[in-house]
Amino acid sequence: MARTSAPIQVNSEEQAQLQTMVRSQKMERRYSQRAQVVLLSHGGKILDAIVEETGLSRASVNKWRQRFRAKGIAGLKDAPRPGNSATITPAQKARVIQKACEKPAEGYTTWSQTRIAQAVGISQSAVSLILQRADLKPHKTEYWCGKSPDPEFESKMLNIVGLYMNPPENAVVLCVDEKTQIQALDRTQPVLPLRSGNPKRMTATYKRIGTVALMAALAVHTGKITAKPVEANNALTFLAFLKMLDRLYRNCHLHIIVDNLAIHKAKEVQQWLARKRKITLHFTPTYSSWLNQVEIFFNILTKDVLKNGVWTSKRQLVDQLIEYIRTYNRKRAAPFIWTYTGQPLAI
């Protein structure tokens, strides 16, 4: 006669967690099996059926049922193993911190926790704990804007900020730049959609369809974007974009902020501008393209459209860029508001 036992009582919250554990492809198999044991028991399955379906022994099935009855989902975790923990000396802690803060030898650029552990003679988990308590992250690098070497930095910066804060009458301030090498990438297998317990997934392998460049102008005091996808980023395409802006803004003076890219100073551009008294180009200081507000829009575009995008043709990518910009102008376009209230960085 088949052995039976009282069904396990599982509330709705616990049931949802257990189902997520069973479906998860990242969780270790032993935890998924334990969750499956509880769900099958809750569903009224007999012991022999649970053993057959999970592949666990009778003793293991009984163990995890009893542990869940006693402690809930927390009872499905491994119990602490007996034994004394290793003692880490102050000298070893100091060596870990020293290693993390110095440049590694033998051709390495950064330290890993494993190599620090090998150099000091302790476990990787101990190194991780020491670094965590010291708030040190040798694997991580952050970037910041250094001092510009431009001798006219202050005057150029004040000129651009002045245009942002107090533009001349009957003038439009435009921030112009190019986002180049936008890649149209297709995946070698279909994208797997988001579902409970799993994020959207796509293959690491991809096919390069081609690249597109996007020229964009941000109207500083309205937030509106004027953009044009182009095949190549050169002086002729930049000049064509300036002519388009000239036609778009007919009855006002244009103050156009650009960086120091060579195409912005090309001979053809300078000759055309010499005949256009209504257009003035303002160049950001060297290494200071962050002063150009259109860079903020490009960052938004990257997060909203380009990150993890999949396209089967360049035309599809271009169409999506145009559609997004139309949507942005219709629903989101607004002047960027300066919110930083701290002290400026020393330069």
Q: Rounded to the nearest 5 degrees, what angle is found at the Cα of 169, between the Cα atoms of 164 and 171?
A: 65
Residue 255 has pLDDT above 90, yes or no: yes
CATH architecture assignment, domain 153-331: 2-Layer Sandwich (3.30)
> Helix or strand or coil: residue 217?
strand
pLDDT tens digits, one per residue of 220-239: 999 999 999 998 899 999 99
Q: How confident is the model at residue 120 (pLDDT cuts 50, 70, 90)?
A: very high
DSSP readout, 102-153? Answer: S--STT-SS--HHHHHHHHTS-HHHHHHHHHHHT--TT-----------TTH
pLDDT tens digits, one per residue of 314-343: 999 999 999 999 999 999 999 998 776 666
Radius of gyration, alpha carbons of the chain = 31
Global confidence as pTM: 0.67
Please state the length of the chain: 347
Q: How confident is the model at residue 146 (pLDDT cuts 50, 70, 90)?
A: confident
From residue 45, how far is each of 36, 42, 243 by CA, in Å?
11, 8, 76
Residue 183 has pLDDT above 70, yes or no: yes
Q: Where are the domains of the chain?
A: 12-76, 91-134, 153-331
